[in-house]
Amino acid sequence: MKLITIIVILFSISSISLASLDKVEKAIKQKGAKWRAGETSISRLSEHEQRQLCSVIIDHVDTANAAPGKKPKLPQRWDWRDVEGQSWVTPVKSQGGCGSCWAFGCVAQLESVKMISEGIPDPDLDLSEQYQVSCDPNNFGCSGGYMYPAYNFIRDVGVPPEDCFPYAGRDLPCEEACLDPELVSVDSWSRISYSVTWLKERTYEHPVTCAFYVYQDFFYYTGGIYKYVWGDLRGGHAVCIVGWDNRGFIVKNSWGDGWGEDGYFRIAFSESSSKSEVCFGMQAGRFFIDSSQAPGRNGTVISVWAGMKAQL
């Protein structure tokens, strides 16, 4: 009898997912959006499980210092996954069923900032999200978190390598981390003005963490330039911007490399506005590490990148 009940529940979830996919595809066509929808590992989750993935607590839309910016001359395309043939972005990870996107967004940026400040691309660099999930006293582990306190933790405490506290996808006591770990932190962080220009300018310096509102249609994303077309709000979500093309931002997600475009998505610039339901780019933070103290700085991407900008 239990097996029959489970089969009925799974069939019901699958039917609901397929019906929703049909609505998303029709909405994409009707609104002329430029992205593709399909069944994904996330779209088949229950509403509760989907909400768990989007656990950034956003109590207001951050419009502080939302001036247009100084409009610097930037390249039409930029992607930290390929700068002079080198990647300064670590592999896509999966937060599993834990509401820890706030920690994954922070650690994704920290890993890139560490590599860029030292001038050493390291595909094996892997810092511990579990440490922040379990040890950040101002957030709520798998039950969600605020972005600004999360940035404070990266500054004031930091996180160790993954093998010190491997990710478990659930709440664990902080005491389970290794003893006396070597922590990677930043000297300071600052808010980024909520505008496309400022987000692009700061992303040109290094990948940037931000939050946005996720709706039902986003779970069906399989490629293209995402723009909201259909569905109810599921929650706030933290991600890491790694670049842009001529139509939108390129963003690293934390739902595994089997979702979206190998774990990434692209989102239209028009969604970075308080007039958008999505409000992409809210509560973005910029990390600072004193690169003058970093080893191997000369002749690395730091100088190459500076030279490239000077020629624009």
Global confidence as pTM = 0.88
How many folded domains does the chain comprise?
1
Q: What is the pLDDT of residue 62?
A: 66
* 165: its two tokens: 């506290």
Report the pLDDT value the prediction gives residue 252, as an integer from 0 to 100.
98
The whole-angstrom separation of Cα 253 and Cα 229 is 20
Domain that holds residue 287: 2-310
pLDDT score at 63: 58
Contacts of 108 (CB under 8 A, 6+ apart): 89, 90, 93, 207, 209, 239, 240, 252, 254
Query: Looking at this protein, which amino acid is placed at residue 93?
Result: K
**From first to last of its 312 residues, what are the pLDDT tens digits of the chain?**
544 443 433 344 455 567 899 999 999 999 999 999 999 999 999 999 999 999 999 987 665 444 555 566 899 999 999 999 999 999 999 999 999 999 999 999 999 999 999 999 998 999 999 999 999 999 999 999 999 999 999 999 999 999 999 999 999 999 999 999 999 999 999 999 889 999 999 999 999 999 999 999 999 999 999 999 999 999 999 999 999 999 999 999 999 999 999 999 999 999 999 899 999 999 999 999 986 554 433 333 333 344 334 433
- Cα-Cα-Cα-Cα torsion 195, 200, 202, 207, nearest 10 degrees, comes to 120
- Judge whether 152 counts as a catalytic residue: no
The Cα–Cα gap between 115 and 98 comes to 27
Q: Percentages helix, strand, coil for the chain, rounded to the nearest 5?
A: 35, 20, 45
Q: How far apart are CA 2 and CA 8, in angstroms?
A: 10
Contact 271, 226 (CB under 8 A): yes
Q: Which is the catalytic residue, given 101, 135, 240, 279?
A: 101
Question: What CA–CA distance (Å, rounded) separates 228 from 102?
Answer: 22
Q: What is the pLDDT of residue 298?
A: 35
> Which amino acid is present at 223?
G
Provide the CATH number for the domain around residue 100: 3.90.70.10
- Specify the pLDDT at position 152: 98
Clarify whether 253 is annotated catalytic. yes
Query: Any catalytic annotation for residue 101?
Result: yes
Q: How far apart are CA 120 and CA 19, in angstroms?
A: 48
Distance of alpha carbon 130 from alpha carbon 148, whole angstroms: 18
- Name the active-site residue from 54, 210, 253, 279: 253
- Rg over alpha carbons for the chain, rounded to the nearest Å, is 20
Three-state secondary structure string covering 150-212: HHHHHHHCCECEHHHCCCCCCCCCHHHCCCCCCCECCCEEEECCCCHHHHHHHHHHCCEEEEE
Distance, CA of 58 to CA of 108 (rounded, Å): 20
Residue ranges of alpha helices (H) inside the chain are 2-31, 47-53, 101-118, 129-135, 147-156, 196-205, 301-310
DSSP state of 127: B
